[in-house]
Amino acid sequence: MIPRHLLVRSALVASLALGLAGPAQGQGAATVTITGLEQAVEALRPRQGQQASRTQADLVTALSILALVGKQEGGGRTYRLETTADGKLLVNGADVSPLIRMYETQTGGQRR
């Protein structure tokens, strides 16, 4: 069972510069700091003898990956997000565009 109340805090600082060709040519940057990810993962894990729902398992996986790629700073994890003029998405300097394309291919572009 997914907990009814789960506290994950975040802070966002962002900037965006759009090219004259429109948003597809836009460049931007955002820094996001999230606290409580590890606690959220632990709260979402099924207890002994319980079976995780598909949604619960997906959330645990996604939040675990998110926690791993964040840069530990203070009491949270920080993510520097950047979009480039050539359409890439960088997270803490790493190009995650191939992962997004792979997800879109697997899901047929559908978000769950």
- Encode pLDDT of 55-83 as tens digits: 888 888 888 888 888 899 888 888 888 88
pTM (whole model) above 0.85? no
pLDDT score for 8: 63
Inform me whether the pLDDT recorded for 6 exceeds 70: no
Extract the runs of DSSP E, i.e. beta strands, from the chain.
Answer: 9-19, 22-35, 71-73, 76-83, 89-91, 94-95
Span 30-48, pLDDT tens digits: 888 888 888 888 888 888 8
Mean pLDDT over each residue of the chain, to the nearest integer:
77
